[in-house]
Amino acid sequence: MVARGRWRRRAGPTPTPGTYPEISIQLNAAKYPEAGILVAGNAYIPQDIVDLLGIPLGNTTLPRLRYRNIVYVQAIALRDFGVAVSWDNRNRAVVLKTIFRNCVGQIDRILGLGATSEVQLELFLKNNNENALVTFRDLPRLYREEGAIEGINYDIAFCQMCLETGFLRFGTDVKPEQNNFAGLGAVGGGAVGATFPDRRTGVRAHIQHLKAYATTAPLVQPLIDPRFPFVSRGVAPLVSQLAGRWAVDPLYGDKILALVRRLYESAGLF
C-alpha cells in the first residue's frame, strides 16, 4: 500500500486508457506542474523529472511504462540515485527530495531544480534587506513556480535577482516599478532597460532569458523575454559561463554562486 510506504519495486502491468488515477508530485517542497499516476500501488512520475534530476534515462534499472503517450518512471526506484521518496497520503502526492550532498557538484548548473522552500527564500531576502518583502513578498513563490515550469534552477535565478537588484534595493538604471529583476536591456549609462506589466511577467522573462543561455530546448510558455532572440542558444549551461555574456564583469558568475552558497548555508543545506 502506498499510504504505508510499502511500494513494490517492479513495473506495473501494461496500461489501458482510463485505468490509472492521477496523483500530485511534490519536488523539493514545490508542487510539480505535471501529475503522476498510481499503478498497482506504485507511484509513477513523468520521465521529464528524471531528466531534470540528471539521472541517466538509459539506465535499465528504472522501471517505466508508457501511458497516454507519456513515459512514466517508477518513483521508488529513484532512491538508488540519491533521491528521497515518500508518500503524502492526505494530499495524495508522491514526495521527492534531492539529497543535497549528491547535488553539490551541480550547484553551477542553470538547468535543474532548486533545493530551497519558499520560506527559506523569504528569510534569505529579509535577512539581507528587511524591507524587501513589504513590496515583493510574492517573489520567492513566483521564482519557484516559473523556474519549475521551464526547468530552471530557481535558487540560481533568485540569487541572480538578488545580485542584479541589490536585494531589491535597485539602483539608478532600473526602477522597482519596471518589474525587471534581471537588468534585461539595462546596459548602463542611464539605459532604463525593459519594463514588464507585473511581477510574474518580469520573473518569467528572467527565467526565459536564463533558459536561452542554458539550453536549446524550446520554451514551455509563450515568449515574453525581449532579449531572447539575441542569445546564442545553449552557450552557457553553467553559471560561471554567464560572465562576459550576461554581464561584462569577469566575476559575475562567481558572485551569483557566492550568493547561492550563502542561501544554502542559511537554509542549513551546507
- Cβ–Cβ < 8 Å for 152, 211: yes
| Residues found in the chain | 270
Average predicted confidence (pLDDT) for the chain: 86
Compute CA 53 distance to the chain's CA centroid, rounded to the nearest angstrom: 11
CATH 1.10.600 fits 2-98, yes or no: no
Residue 147: Cβ within 10 Å count: 26
CATH assignment, 105-266 = 1.10.530.10
pLDDT of residue 188: 54
Check residues 90 and 57 and name the one with the higher pLDDT. Answer: 90
pLDDT of residue 157: 98
Q: Please check the confidence at residue 244 and state whether its pLDDT lies above 60.
A: yes
Q: What is the pTM of this model?
A: 0.67
Residue-range domain boundaries for the chain: 2-98, 105-266
173-176 long-range CB contacts below 8 Å, 24 or more apart? 176/135
Span 66-91, pLDDT tens digits: 998 899 999 998 887 768 789 999 99
Q: Please check the confidence at residue 225 and state whether its pLDDT lies above 70.
A: yes
pLDDT of residue 12: 47
Span 185-202, pLDDT tens digits: 865 555 668 999 999 999
